[in-house]
Amino acid sequence: MLCNVCSRPLDVAQYSEDGNYKSCPKCSTDNGQEHVFYHCDYFGYTDHRITENNPEGIQSWCPPCRGRASSTSANGTLCSQINR
């Protein structure tokens, strides 16, 4: 399924132009219309996720989608609202 705003796959993480926000693939797919972004620091980082394509080791999914936080704590910003 593609985002109605940027036409990119909802199940693939996207970054804002400034690199400060990242979309959660699960939240975006659950939304079904557009990407749902959070500040990159919200995702958390781990050495176990460091790769050539992910040199910082940022987590793929947001904490609630990983079962690490209450889903009510997440206030995502939609693709239509993010500075892309």
67 CB neighbour count, 10 Å cutoff: 8
What pTM value is reported for the model?
0.87
Whole-number Å distance between alpha carbons of 74 and 3: 20
What distance in Å separates the CA atoms of residue 33 and residue 38, rounded to the nearest whole number? Answer: 16
- Residue pLDDT, tens place only, 17-66: 999 999 999 999 999 999 999 999 999 999 999 999 899 999 999 999 99
